[in-house]
Amino acid sequence: MIVVMEPRATREQINEIVRKIQDAGLSSHISAGVERTIIGVVGDSHTKELLRQSLEASGGVERVVLILQPFKLVGREFRPHDTIVDVGGVRIGDGSVVVMAGPCSVESRDQILQTARGVKAAGAVMLRGGAFKPRTSPYSFQGLEEEGLRYLAEARAATGLPVVTEAMDAAQLMLVVKYADMIQIGARNMQNYTLLREAGRVKCPVLLKRGPSATIQELLLAAEYVMSEGNYDIVLCERGIRGFDNYTRYLLDLSAVPVLKQLTHLPVIVDPSQASGKWKYVPPLAKAAVAAGSDGLIVEVHPEPEKALSDGPQQLTPDSFSRLMAELIPLAAALGRRVQAPAALR
């Protein structure tokens, strides 16, 4: 349920509505727009129905609307205008194309510093890299953990690129928040509800990846867990779902981009590297994602993919990444958009 306040509703009237919601044992979430304020009401449906008439009769209330979708806060009923997520000065969701790039795994100090400098020179505005690596096999490289986080922070200091990296549980989450600018919740943890709630309680932007077998509604409900705890800075990521073919790792669901843009106010980016599993398919999928309206890309880049400790076949070299960036700029311009440039290059 949402409470739509009148355009001239006073702060006192808004506070009174919030008080009534809280007195009923429900949660309130405020979205202050340019013209009016919308208050989301979350909690028991029976209690909301009992409260509805009281709210409709309150001063400053224009109307009370029941939301039929199972996701309440991530939907456009709650926030009609697009959310812009600021990550260390990088604005995701403002209409431009944001490119995050870096290796699948942080393998050494030299590797991440070299890659960070290379992707920035090519035009990336954020650095990605895994310090904790969830792997299918327990015998595969699992990441450098806190040492890797320290290397990422050093790379940020050297280049100015904000860092996004993955946390897999609550303990790792607090370490990631200490070193990084954005928390990635990976596909395998999309429905780790304890982790989602913890991510909602920290003041750090979240990159939420779609699970390989997750529906769009399940992805939005996962984001709802984060938002319900008070963190509205969420970026959704389409990274491929399970198909029946084996020529690529996953089936990149580009139709999810316009669907999500219609259903939610949250920014949507695409991961062509994880989706394809093969570097040669990354550039065409990346360009298709921009054409579909994606707010950005997260691309894997490694100085020597053939020596990578994880997912080498899907990682671009710095040269191939540079060529991709050169192709994205005119493509975005043809669509009336621009590719964000690193601060020092603007």
Contact 252, 287 (CB under 8 A): no
**pLDDT tens digits for range 295-322:** 999 999 999 999 999 999 999 999 999 9
Cβ burial 234-255 (10 Å sphere, 16+ → b, else e): bbbbbbbbeeeeeebbbebbbe
Residues of the chain with pLDDT under 70: 134-135, 139, 344-346
Which pair of tokens denotes residue 148?
Answer: 């890797």
**pLDDT value, residue 346:** 46
User: Distance between CA 211 and CA 205 in Å, rounded?
Assistant: 19
Residue 135: partners with Cβ closer than 8 Å, 6 or more residues away: 141, 142, 310
Nearest residue to 112 (alpha-carbon basis) of 62, 47, 165: 165
Q: What fold is seen in the domain 85-345?
A: TIM Barrel (3.20.20)
**pLDDT value, residue 127:** 98
Sorted by where each begins, the domain ranges of the chain are 2-65, 85-345
**pLDDT value, residue 345:** 56
3-state secondary structure string, the chain?
Answer: CEEEECCCCCHHHHHHHHHHHHHCCCEEEEEECCCCEEEEEECCHHHHHHHHHHHHCCCCEEEEECCCCCCCCCECCCCCCCCCEEECCEEECCCCEEEEEECCECCCHHHHHHHHHHHHHHCCCEEECECCCCCCCCCCCCCCCHHHHHHHHHHHHHHCCCEEEECCCHHHHHHHHHHCCEEEECHHHCCCHHHHHHHHHCCCCEEEECCCCCCHHHHHHHHHHHHHCCCCCEEEEECCECCCCCCCCCECCCCHHHHHHHHECCCEEECHHHHHCCHHHHHHHHHHHHHCCCCEEEEEECCCHHHCCCCHHHCECHHHHHHHHHHHHHHHHHCCCCECCCHHHC
CATH, range 2-65: 3.30.70.1140
Angle between helix 11-23 and helix 45-56 axes, rounded to 10 deg = 150
| CA of residue 159 relative to chain centroid, distance | 22
User: Distance between CA 167 and CA 180 in Å, rounded?
Assistant: 10
**pLDDT value, residue 135:** 66
**pLDDT value, residue 331:** 98
**pLDDT value, residue 318:** 97
| Averaged pLDDT score across all residues of the chain | 95
Neighbours of 63 (CB within 10 A): 11
